[in-house]
Amino acid sequence: MPRIARKNSSSCFYHVMVQGINKEHIFKDEKWIEKYKKFMQEKLEESEVTILAYCVMINHVHLLIHSDSSANLSKYMQKLNSAYSKFYNVVNERIGYVFRDRFRSQEICSERQLYTCLKYIHNNPVKANIVSFMYEYPYSSYNEFVNEKDIITKESIKLLFNTEENYMEQFNKVHLIDDEENIDEFIDLKEKDVLDFIYEIENKYGRKISEIKKDKSLLRKVIKAARMQTDVTLVKLASILNVSKSTVENYERKKWKKEPSQIPKWKKEPSQFPKIERM
């Protein structure tokens, strides 16, 4: 089947995702992640794109990319993933696909969406319960904005914040935005299979799911975590927990009560945001 050409974004900003075939752990330790990052940087030198943010997880990668055309974006991703696939197959003495698809991409259409996406990418390891704070994860671009630059460049910073210097105040504010209502607009790629997740939960609490579901507070935590960390459907999760679909829906939607001191809120003012450059 011929591939359908990707449409150009009207803003030139894209949220890009790639995932290992069958959710395999193709970035299982530092060696593999650093190799992918090396290819990310090498292929930038021969491509017309700019990486604005990234996060490499165990089996998938999130990128925020600026590109004048979808064609340039596709060329970059093809070069990047082809280089890593060849390396991965040689080292593992295997053949075949390494990635699930070419890549998936979403157009970024507004300044709010741009900054929400930036935080969303850096927050992936926190959401997956790998670390407690964004700065603790060594394989995202978060610390590149704070310390030494590697893949993130001055051009990356200028495209995001309309300046190359004195951007940290705005960077910090963006990462404090409480924007849960809009986070679901980004396509997510889950790390875990739901049955592996359930096994981990039972070991963590020392209780079977049949016992956990009797504790409403704990059941709510399990439902929200399962929906965030796996791609299980509402119907399947309800079946595994032996509860109704409406119970899963209600518990998933219920907001957590947050102490104001724990989650600072910041209402953005339009004048504080650089305008996205249009084609």
Average predicted confidence (pLDDT) for the chain: 80
pLDDT tens for 184-237 read 455 454 556 677 778 778 888 888 888 888 888 888 888 887 876 676 778 888
Are residues 41 and 146 part of one domain?
Answer: yes
Token pair 């319960």 is found at 129
Are residues 120 and 60 part of one domain?
Answer: yes
Classify residue 147: in a domain, yes or no: yes
Are residues 82 and 55 part of one domain?
Answer: yes
Longest Cα–Cα distance of the chain, Å, equals: 57
The domain boundary residue, chosen from 137, 161, 183: 183
Are residues 162 and 82 part of one domain?
Answer: yes
> What pLDDT was estimated at residue 61?
92
> What pLDDT was estimated at residue 192?
60
The domain boundary residue, chosen from 183, 209, 241: 183
Are residues 200 and 103 part of one domain?
Answer: no
Are residues 110 and 29 part of one domain?
Answer: yes
Are residues 228 and 156 part of one domain?
Answer: no
Is the predicted pLDDT of residue 279 greater than 80, yes or no? no
Give yes or no for a contact between 279 and 13, defined as CB atoms under 8 angstroms apart: no
Mean pLDDT of 5-9: 47
Burial track 154-181 (b if 16+ CB lie within 10 A, e otherwise): eebbebbbeeeeebeebbeebbebebee
- Measured between alpha carbons, how far is 188 from 3 in angstroms, rounded to an integer? 22
Classify residue 189: in a domain, yes or no: no
pLDDT tens for 127-168 read 888 899 999 999 999 999 998 888 999 999 999 999 888 899
Classify residue 54: in a domain, yes or no: yes
Are residues 174 and 225 part of one domain?
Answer: no
The domain boundary residue, chosen from 183, 205, 227: 183
Domain that holds residue 233: 194-253
Are residues 200 and 84 part of one domain?
Answer: no
Mean pLDDT of 42-70: 93
Classify residue 269: in a domain, yes or no: no
> What pLDDT was estimated at residue 160?
95
> What pLDDT was estimated at residue 212?
85
Tell me, what CATH number does 80's domain have?
Answer: 3.30.70.1290
Are residues 24 and 125 part of one domain?
Answer: yes
> What pLDDT was estimated at residue 40?
94
> What pLDDT was estimated at residue 226?
80
Percentage of the chain lying above the pLDDT 70 cut: 79
- Measured between alpha carbons, how far is 179 from 274 in angstroms, rounded to an integer? 19
Classify residue 4: in a domain, yes or no: no
Is the predicted pLDDT of residue 259 greater than 90, yes or no? no
Whole-prediction pTM value? 0.66
Instruction: Please tell me which residue, 200 or 59, carries the higher pLDDT value.
Output: 59
Mean pLDDT of 166-194: 69
Classify residue 275: in a domain, yes or no: no
| 43: Cβ contacts below 8 Å, ≥ 6 apart | 76, 79, 80, 83
Classify residue 97: in a domain, yes or no: yes
Is the predicted pLDDT of residue 72 greater than 50, yes or no? yes
Write down the H helix ranges in the chain. Answer: 30-44, 70-92, 111-127, 142-146, 154-161, 168-174, 180-183, 194-205, 209-212, 216-229, 234-241, 245-253
Are residues 106 and 235 part of one domain?
Answer: no
Q: What are phi and psi of 176, to 5 degrees?
A: -105, -5
> C-alpha angle 231/236/240, rounded to 5°?
110
Number of domains comprising the chain: 2
Classify residue 274: in a domain, yes or no: no
Are residues 220 and 158 part of one domain?
Answer: no
How many other C-beta atoms are found inside a 10 Å radius of the C-beta of residue 21? 14
Q: What are phi and psi of 222, to 5 degrees?
A: -65, -45
